[in-house]
Amino acid sequence: MNSKESIAVVWLKRDLRLDDNESIYRALKSGQRVLLLYVFENLLLNDTHYSERHFNFIKQSLSDLNARLKPYNTQVLSVVSDLSSAFNQIQSIFKVEKVYSHVETGLLVTYNRDKEFKRYCRNNFIQWIESKNNGVERGLVNRDNWFENWEDYMSQSQFEFKPKAEQFVSNMQIQQIYELLSPMDLSTKIDKRFQHGGTTYAWKYARSFFESRHKSYMFDISKPEDSRTSCSRLSPYIAWGNVSIRQVFQKAQELKEQSNEKKHLGAFISRLRWQAHFIQKFEMEHTMEEASVNKGYHKLKKKISLEYQKAWEEGQTGFPLVDASMRCLIETGYVNFRMRAMLVSFFTHLLWQPWQNASAHLSRQFLDFEPGIHFPQLQMQAGETGINNLRIYNPTVNGLKHDADATFIRKWVPELAELPTAFVHEPYLLTELEQQLFNFKLGKDYPFPIVDIKENRKRASDILWNMKRDPEVLNESKRILNRHTIRDRNRMLSSD
77-80 and 182-183 beta bridge pairing: antiparallel
pLDDT band at 493 (very low <50, low <70, confident <90, very high): very low
For helices 306-314 and 356-365, give the axis angle rounded to 10 degrees: 20
487, pLDDT greater than 70? no
Distance CA 411, CA 408 (A): 5
Alpha helices in 92-162 (DSSP H): 108-123, 146-155
Q: Kindly state the average pLDDT of the residues 338-347.
A: 98
pLDDT in tens, 223-264: 999 999 999 999 999 999 999 999 999 999 999 999 888 999
- Residue 496: per-residue pLDDT: 42
Cβ pair 258, 211 in contact under 8 A:
no
- Residue 17: per-residue pLDDT: 98
Q: Kindly state the average pLDDT of the residues 55-74.
A: 98
pLDDT in tens, 115-166: 999 999 999 999 999 999 999 999 998 999 999 999 999 999 999 999 999 9
pLDDT in tens, 294-325: 999 999 999 999 999 999 999 999 999 999 99
User: 41: how many CB neighbours lie within 10 A of its CB?
Assistant: 20
Instruction: Give CATH 1.10.579.10 domain extents, the chain.
Output: 295-484
- Residue 259: per-residue pLDDT: 86
Distance CA 214, CA 223 (A): 14
Instruction: Give CATH 3.40.50.620 domain extents, the chain.
Output: 6-133
Q: What residues contact residue 158 under an 8 Å CB cut-off, 6+ apart?
A: 19, 20, 244, 246, 247, 250
> What is the largest distance, in Å, between two alpha-carbon atoms of the chain?
90
pLDDT band at 495 (very low <50, low <70, confident <90, very high): very low
Mean pLDDT of the chain: 95
- Residue 246: per-residue pLDDT: 98
DSSP 442: B
Q: Kindly state the average pLDDT of the residues 31-38.
A: 98
Q: Kindly state the average pLDDT of the residues 191-218.
A: 96
- Residue 488: per-residue pLDDT: 56
- Residue 416: per-residue pLDDT: 98
- Residue 427: per-residue pLDDT: 98
Cβ pair 294, 385 in contact under 8 A:
yes
- Rounded to 5 degrees, φ, ψ at 239 are -60, -40
Using DSSP's 3-state secondary structure scheme, residue 98 falls into strand
Cβ pair 224, 329 in contact under 8 A:
no
- Residue 1: per-residue pLDDT: 43
- pLDDT above 90 covers what percent of the chain? 94
- Which CATH number among 2.40.50.140, 3.40.50.300, 3.40.50.620, 3.40.50.1010 corresponds to the domain 6-133? 3.40.50.620
Q: What would the CATH number be for the domain defined by 295-484?
A: 1.10.579.10
282, pLDDT greater than 90? yes
Cβ pair 171, 75 in contact under 8 A:
yes
Nearest CA-CA partner of 183 in 63, 79, 65, 37: 79
Q: Kindly state the average pLDDT of the residues 407-434.
A: 98
pLDDT band at 2 (very low <50, low <70, confident <90, very high): low
- pTM of structure: 0.95
Q: Kindly state the average pLDDT of the residues 272-278.
A: 93
pLDDT band at 491 (very low <50, low <70, confident <90, very high): low
Indicate the burial class of 27 (C-beta count within 10 angstroms; 0-12, 13-18, 19 or more): buried
Sign of the dihedral through C-alpha 69, 72, 73, 79: negative
- Element holding 183 (H helix, E strand): strand 182-183
- pLDDT above 70 covers what percent of the chain? 98
476, pLDDT greater than 60? yes
Nearest CA-CA partner of 286 in 119, 110, 90, 147: 110
pLDDT in tens, 84-108: 999 999 999 999 999 999 999 999 9
